Amino acid sequence: MQSLKTNSYPFSDPILNDKMREAMESEMKKRGIQPNFTPVTPIFDGLQINKREPMRERDLSTEEFLNLFDKAESLKMAYIPHFMTQCVIYYLDLLVDYARAHRLSEYKKHTRRLKEIKEEYIIALKHEMPPHVFQKFLAQRDEYLESCGSNLTLMYFSFGNLLLKHYGRIDHDAIICYANIIVAFVEHVEDFDRQVNKRIAEKLGQPCRNHGDARLTAIKDTCKDIIKAYPLEKNDTTALCIGVMQNRAISMINDML
């Protein structure tokens, strides 16, 4: 059923109003009644409906976050992205070193940007953590990457084989391989953070944001520019490689409990 609009009523037509007024005045005069019309101000012009304000997303402090879940779950939610990000930095260093060693001037702008973002990331971590906590984190990072050693190498060859299968031989395929791996890691961390935020929203009954790092997004965007001609879509092989690294992170977190 269509709703009636204001201008569908005859009283909203000024010409029709005048004709009706004249007819009414004539009829009243015939009956000896003196016309005396008083302008009436309408109470409202159409329905005024206040739109409901959407629920605003709010930030969640670390203390609030840790108190929402039990220790095991909160540690995994907080530390898995941190450990996975160390894999991003690991491959970022390999990419930058490879481009520098082979004097790949076409990637000079990209590598400079990646180095800047990495420095910003390390400085931010250092400021966010007390000195002893930061040093402990660096030790945990080294331990994690050491435990992933052979898996990091296998991951490189897995992505390399996928590149060969899809695009054939590529000059300096190593840098394309590193960039694809970095994108895969960052997208996995972003997906993980979205799931965490969903769990938090369910607990609090409102949208909430706890994770997300603009520096990771900047790294991903820079690497996507490197691989724009040779992207690898997410598939079972790439998911398996990333999954192995996440399981390594979970093992380390379990040791921390």
Kindly report, residue by residue over 112-123, the tens digit of the pLDDT: 999 999 999 999
What are the tokens at 125? 């971590």
63: Cβ contacts below 8 Å, ≥ 6 apart: none
Q: Is the pLDDT of residue 25 over 70?
A: no
Q: How far apart are CA 155 and CA 199, in angstroms?
A: 30
Q: Would you tell me how many other CB atoms lie within 10 Å of the CB of residue 118?
A: 17
pLDDT per residue as tens digits for the range 68-106: 778 888 888 888 998 999 999 999 999 999 999 999 999
Residues 172-179 have a mean pLDDT of 96
CB-count exposure of residue 183 (10 Å: 0-12, 13-18, 19+): buried
- Choose between 44 and 70: higher pLDDT: 70
Does the pLDDT at position 36 exceed 80?
A: no
Q: What angle do CA 86, 176, 168 make, to 5 degrees?
A: 140
For 228-251, the DSSP string reads TTS-----HHHHHHHHHHHHHHHH
User: Which segments of 56-172 does DSSP mark as H helices, in order?
Assistant: 62-68, 71-101, 108-128, 131-147, 149-167
pLDDT of residue 175: 97
pLDDT at 108 exceeding the cut of 90: yes
Per the DSSP assignment, residues forming a β-bridge with 128 are: none
Give residue 205's pLDDT: 74
Higher pLDDT, 123 or 48: 123
Domain spans in the chain, listed from the N-terminal domain onward: 9-43, 60-256
**pTM as predicted:** 0.73
> What would the pLDDT profile of 198-213 be if each residue is shown by its tens digit?
888 887 776 766 556 8
- Of residues 58, 213, 24, the one with CA closest to residue 120: 213
